[in-house]
């Protein structure tokens, strides 16, 4: 599955990059970002509202 990263604002992309860096993962390509967002729960939670207009956040 591929994610349309053009919908993510720069601060969200930076947040995803920082999540990855904390885990020792280096994101260099669009494919790296897409894969990481799909595989990491925290990154997906941050990005999902920008990727899915039907998404509604329900705090736990």
Nearest to 2 by CA among 43, 30, 42, 25: 30
pLDDT the model gives residue 3: 80
Nearest to 18 by CA among 9, 27, 7: 27
pTM for the model stands at 0.80
Q: What is the pLDDT along the chain (60 residues), one digit of tens a residue?
A: 678 888 899 999 999 999 999 999 999 999 999 999 999 999 999 998 888 766 555 555
Q: Cβ contacts of residue 14 below 8 Å, gap of 6+?
A: none
């Amino acid at each position: 599955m591929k994610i349309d990263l053009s919908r993510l604002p720069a601060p969200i992309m930076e947040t995803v990059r920082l999540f990855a860096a904390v885990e020792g993962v280096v994101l260099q390509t669009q494919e790296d970002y897409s894969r990481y967002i799909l595989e990491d729960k925290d990154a997906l939670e941050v990005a999902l509202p920008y990727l899915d207009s039907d998404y509604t956040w329900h705090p736990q």
